[in-house]
Each structure stands twice: as C-alpha cells, then as structure tokens.
Chains A and B, each alone.
Chain A
Amino acid sequence: MATSFSATLPLHGSQENRLLLPPIRLAPPPSSFLGFTRSLTIPSSRRLYHAHAARRSPVVGVQEVVKEKKVTNSLLITKEEGLVLYEDMILGRSFEDMCAQMYYRGKMFGFVHLYNGQEAVSTGFIKLLTQSDSVVSTYRDHVHALSKGVSARAVMSELFGKVTGCCRGQGGSMHMFSKEHNMLGGFAFIGEGIPVATGAAFTSKYKREVLKQDCEDVTVAFFGDGTCNNGQFYECLNMAALYKLPIIFVVENNLWAIGMSHLRSTSDPEIWKKGPAFGMPGVHVDGMDVLKVREVAKEAVTRARRGEGPTLVECETYRFRGHSLADPDELRDAAEKAKYAARDPITALKKYLVENKLASEGELKTIEKKIDELVEEAVEFADASPQPGRSQLLENVFADPKGFGIGPDGRYRCEDPKFTQGTAQV
C-alpha cells in the first residue's frame, strides 16, 4: 500500500494521484485544507489571497491512504489503543476547560494559552513516543505536557504558581519542563523551541555515533503556522536534513496567529511544501482526526528511529478558543468556528469507537467521569499546595551556585546560610 513516505523526494503525493489531478484549478478544490475559505463574509482583501491559493494544485494528504484502509475493512486501532487515545484527548479538553474557569476566578494569572480543538495532534503524536523521546513545544504546552506523562496535579499546581508544580512555580504556563518525562519546554518565543528540539535530536545521533550508546530517541517539535515564517524554522529544516537528525517537525496549523490569518502573512500558505525544498518529506494531514494524525506520526517516527532523517508534518487543525484567555477573538468569523466545531476530534473519535464497536457509550462515559474527577482533584491539590518559600527566589539560577560570586566577606555567597533565605545582600 503506497503511503506518502514510500516515494523519494519530492514527497507530496503518490505518482498516480499527481497524474489524475490537473495542476491549475479555478474554483477552490474539495480538499479540506482550503475548506474554510467558503465562509460567507470574507473581507475583500482576503479574497485575493484565497483566489491565489485556490490556483494551486490541491493537497494530497493521508486522507486517501486512510480511506483506502477503511474500504478494506481493517481497523486502524485496537480497543485498548482507542481507549488510551480517547482518555488522553478528554484529559486535554477537560484540563483546558478547567484552566479557563480557574483563570476567570483569579487562581491563574499571566498568559494562559489553551489547546481546545487541537487535541488530536498532541495525542496522535505523543502517544506513540516512549519516555526517553523528547517533546519541545511552544507556550501552548499544557496538553503536550499532559500527553507526555506529566501529572495533571503537577501541571495545575505550576499554573497556580505553587511549589508542588512541575517547575516549582518558577516556570508558569508557558514554561513546562520535566526532565523525567523529557518534556524540554515550553518556550514563549515562537520558533525558539525548534532549534532546541533540533539540538535534542542532535544529541540522539551524537550518542549513537560518538558515544556509541544505544540510542533510538526521537524528538518531536510542535509549533504553529506563524512560526513557519520565522528564520529559525528554515535554519533548522536545513540543518536537520543536512545532519539527518531524528526529529519530526509538527506544524499545528490552526490558521491564525493571534489575529493574523495565515493567508495574510504567508506567501505560500502550504507549509508541507517547505519540507521537500530542504530535502525532507513534507506531509499534510487532517489534524482534526486523531487516527489520521496517528498514521502519519507512525511513519514519521519510524523513519526517524531508522535514521532516515527528519519529516515535516503539517496538521490542519483549529483552536476553539482565542489565542489566549485575554484574546477577545473578534477577527475569526462564526461560520469558520462552527465549521471546525462540527469536526471536533473528540466527537469524531467517539463516533469511530462506537460505530466500529470498539467501545460502548457507557465505557466512554466512565472515562469522561474519571477524568473529570482527576481534574477536580488536581485543582484541589493545587489549591491546597503552599506557595514557594522566600528562599526559592535565589535557588536554581545556576546549577553551580558559586556563580553568585564572592561576597564582601571574601567567601562564596552561596556558602552564607542567609543567602538563600533572602536576608543576605545579593
């Protein structure tokens, strides 16, 4: 069965499909990628961009592959896998909804960016990884941390700024780090995580080749459509392909960067095409369908583990809420939001599981209830946890605290017991 990966470059469709489809079309093609352009109230400046985009050949993604599989009547997942995926997505959704509630109640503060609607991407990729694989994300990182295994309690406490948080309250919403689960952050600057992820993948390769250790770890870097116009993204595509690093670049294309539409800011909005330009496969996938994402992820991760190099995966997805909880979200129109709400990944998976008799409604309800309790318990735990002590202010600035230098008495500052209590002069 041909997949988008089996051909060598350029990899954006199998040979047969390319012959069937004409290169230029005047009307928007039925591909779901450009589906949102059919909304009724497009401002005139956008119509030009839409027309321009419509002239491109339609994207051939993994939909065809998945349709093929369905036709031959073999299921994509087993019951256990299905339940794991469902539980993870429900956890992501409930957690984020609870975050919104807590924010408006004043328990959470600062910048909070919620992931509602994009759960299929996180679950689809991260549930295929092992503990030693790394994940690097952006500020929209709560659900990536949860999928990777960081407990809901630890994430919620971190958001409340309590000492029991995964970073002891020092990181916050945008900086979720967990060494144990190899969640390498949480970066506020877009594009900042991509080189760091490339470095983690570089380490896998270095461990294999120089340190002669058995290392099959891959790294998955998540970032958005806005990041794909940033220089660091291209620098890393180049170097990852050049050094054949075990990394998967996952673009969560939710079409909006705060209030900037992807089409308004990008000369060529089809991001998956940028992969072949650098010598790696570029794949487009429907990011609202966790099973399709999982199929693509399987191939990409296997490629990386085999040492065949990086892959660029563009997931077409959507965020149901605004950019952050402070975003009034006025620029996106209601018809577009409704269209994507109808494609909610959780509803889609539920439908799949029930229709294919993999799980009953009752079982799924049990999972939902369990997760609700888990999230509520996480809130209670976070509420009850203490705030960081005063001495924590000066801790962990350096791994080697002699970095604070020598105090007026000639000894290293960190040797003064009053230093971390915050009573010594810094």
Chain B
Amino acid sequence: MIRLLDLRSEKSGYCFPVSEKMWGILGRRAVDGGFSASSFRRMRSGLVSARSYAAGSKEMTVRDALNSAIDEEMSADPKVFVMGEEVGQYQGAYKITKGLLEKYGPERVYDTPITEAGFTGIGVGAAYAGLKPVVEFMTFNFSMQAIDHIINSAAKSNYMSAGQINVPIVFRGPNGAAAGVGAQHSQCYAAWYASVPGLKVLAPYSAEDARGLLKAAIRDPDPVVFLENELLYGESFPISEEALDSSFCLPIGKAKIEREGKDVTITTFSKMVGFALKAAEKLAEEGISAEVINLRSIRPLDRATINASVRKTSRLVTVEEGFPQHGVCAEICASVVEESFSYLDAPVERIAGADVPMPYAANLERLALPQVEDIVRAAKRACFRSK
C-alpha cells in the first residue's frame, strides 16, 4: 500500500482528465497503475461503481472501450469468439472481458488452461478453418511461449499458401511496463512483432483508439497483434458520439496527429502519447510548439504522416517505452533519414526505455522508463542544436 502512495507523490506531471471525487482511493490507485492480484480483487467493486458515474461528460475508460468493442463485434458476428486465461469466470485478468461470459455463454468465451502455445495454436487452427478468434494473452510477455504460432503459423500462412488460407485472428493483451512487476512482466514487444511481414501491429492510446482499432482488428482478415497498456486501462478519455457507434472503425496504418505544432515533431505510441502531450504543454510554456503524433499502427507504420510532419518542423524526437536497440524508434529514425534527410535541422532524438531488464525498485523503474522531463529535454536539445 505504502509503496504505491509514494509512487504517486513522486511522479511528476501525472494528472488525469478525471475528477478525484469520481474515484475513491481504490480508483486512484488503479489509475496510477500497478496493483497486485489481491488488491485487484478488492478493487473490483470500486471499479464497477466508478464506471456507472460516466453519465453526462461522455467519457470512457480504455477498459470499457475495449469491452464494448469486443461485445459489439461478438454480437455482430457469431464466428467471433474469445479465448484466453481467466477471460470467462474471472471476468478477465484485467476485466477487459467482463460480462462476456454471462452474455454469450461458455461456447464463445473460453477459459483456457495455462497453455499459451496450445491455445494460441488452437486459435490459429480455428482461424484457418474460418472462425475469428480473439486470443488474449495475460500479458504479451507470455506470448513468447506462443510466438511460434503467432509468427510461423499465423503471420506467414497467407503467403506460404499463396492466398488460400488467411488467418483472421487478433492477439491482444497488455504490453510494456506496468508498475513494479519486474523484469519478466515488463517488456515491450512492439519492435519484435512489427518486424514480421504478414502481421499487423496496433497500439492504441485513448479510448477512441482502443474502440476503433480493436473493431478494425477483429474485422480484419489478417493476423493482428493488438498491444494494449495495463496502466491505460483505467484512464478515462473523452469520446465522441461517432466513436460510440457500433460500426465505428479506425483505419489500420494511419497515425493521428494529437496536437499540431511547428517546431518539433514528437512521435510515439501507447502510454507515451500521454507523456508526450504533457511534455508538449511544458514546451509550449517555453515557446516551443511541438507536434505530437500518436502512431496508432506500428505495422504498417504511417511513414507518410511522420515524414510530412518532419518536413514541416525539421526536427524529430521519437519516444517509446521498449528497449532501444532495434526498436520502433530506430525504424522511424531510419525512415526519416532515408526520406527527409535534407529537411532535418538537427539529429533525430531517440528516447527509449533503458537498455536493462526492468528493475523492481520503484526509483530504478522510474529511471528505466522515459519520463516527461526526458521528452522535454530531448525536444529542447533538438530545437537549440542549430543555434
């Protein structure tokens, strides 16, 4: 308990578009991120009461956005089914699949044994035969036990069979660092999956992203790796009427410019988008107008939007949470250098997680992940370098 409170006080600039009244202490802890399984079960009731408050301001948590997306797709198409550990009776390890078992029954919401390779393969085989599985990994770290199926039997099959067998499967789950979960539960897999041809890799940030991209992923005829973020699940975002419509889909492969600017481009995805927006506000106070691009889709990467933005601002800061070597940022940097070299006024700044397995101690973990100050500092470096 005490460790989490300390975290909250030491984190800088971490405010949410949510009033404190709406969430009790339990809810705040959930939003800050990181809770053990036991505290999580205790919080279940708190979360239910908090969710019912959402009237009037049209806000939605990422968790609800994902839940509603899966719910709507399951009711629209009987071939869609969910499988994973604890998705049924436990209501989902992170409550994303809450209520689905009651609504659709055990024939469509499968609680699997702890056999990632087995159930992922079963999902791929079911997709070969025409169904549309949504396979949940409790975290993407566990997908390493099934990575053979994601890459060899799912991603490559349409190509190996020359278009005869496509695999309309979605692999989803939380990716990247949570709070205090240690080295084996904190890795970001965006770079690994995004390097494989045949896969589509999506990373939503807001509730609208989550809804639109998950619906697009479930409808997509190809294997999609859907990287969520545990710390974003409880965060609330404003959501438009259009996004609440049941046929709302976002296009795969298009990035979103979250904030327009003219001095420096900051590209990022998932939780780091929130940090980048905070950083942009701080930079604005100092007279630097930053353009923040939410990538949304890691594969295919929206190189057109990134390059157009860099040609406008001439400076690039690229941010991600994962390991630096061979990361998403490295790819973006290479793409910009190849396509917009003469437009760059400063070397590309790359901010990634530290090149270490994630430490457990709270202060070390904070040092291992990019923070708002790091983004601000890098942007300033990019802006003043040419002076």
Contact = CB atoms under 8 A, between A and B. Distances in A.
A170 B294 CA distance: 36
Interface stretch (B28-36, B261-269, B302-310, B348-356): B302-310
Interface residues of B, number: 59
A209 B308 CA distance: 51
Contacts of B124: 195-196, 199
A397 B154 CA distance: 11
Nearest to A402: B253
A259 interface: no
A242 B153 contact: no
Given A170-B159, A178-B164, A206-B131, A398 B198 contact: yes
B161 interface: yes
Interface in A97-152: 134, 136
Interface string B130-174: 110000000000000000110011000111111111101000000
Interface string A373-403: 0000000000000000000000111111011
Interface string B80-115: 010000000000000000000000000110001101
A280 to B, nearest CB: 15
B118 interface: yes
Given A399-B163, A406-B302, A195 B120 contact: yes
B126 A403 contact: no
A30 interface: no
Contact of A179 (B113, B165, B297, B307): B165
Interface in B193-227: 197-198, 200, 220-222
Contact of B253 (A198, A206, A408, A412): A412
Contact of B118 (A175, A195, A408, A410): A195
Given A238-B113, A396-B158, A408 B300 contact: no
A232 B161 contact: no
A291 B367 CA distance: 69
A171 interface: yes
A167 B160 contact: yes
Nearest to B167: A399
Contacts of A272: none
A199 B304 contact: no
Contact of B149 (A184, A192, A402): A192
B119 interface: yes
Contacts of A236: 118, 121-122
B183 interface: no
A197 B125 contact: yes
Nearest to A408: B304
B302 A408 contact: no
Interface of A: 134, 136, 167-171, 175, 177-180, 184-189, 192, 194-204, 206, 209-211, 231-232, 235-236, 238-239, 242, 395-400, 402-410, 412
Query: Shortest 10 CB-CB distances between A and B: which pairs?
Result: A199-B125, A195-B121, A405-B300, A235-B118, A177-B161, A399-B166, A203-B129, A196-B125, A399-B221, A168-B162
Interface of B: 78-79, 81, 107-108, 112-113, 115, 117-131, 148-149, 152-153, 157-166, 168, 197-198, 200, 220-222, 251-254, 297, 299-305, 307-308, 339
Given A175-B160, A399-B166, 20 more contacts: A170-B159, A170-B160, A171-B162, A177-B164, A179-B165, A188-B152, A195-B124, A196-B124, A199-B122, A199-B124, A199-B127, A211-B79, A238-B118, A239-B113, A399-B163, A402-B252, A403-B252, A403-B253, A405-B297, A408-B339
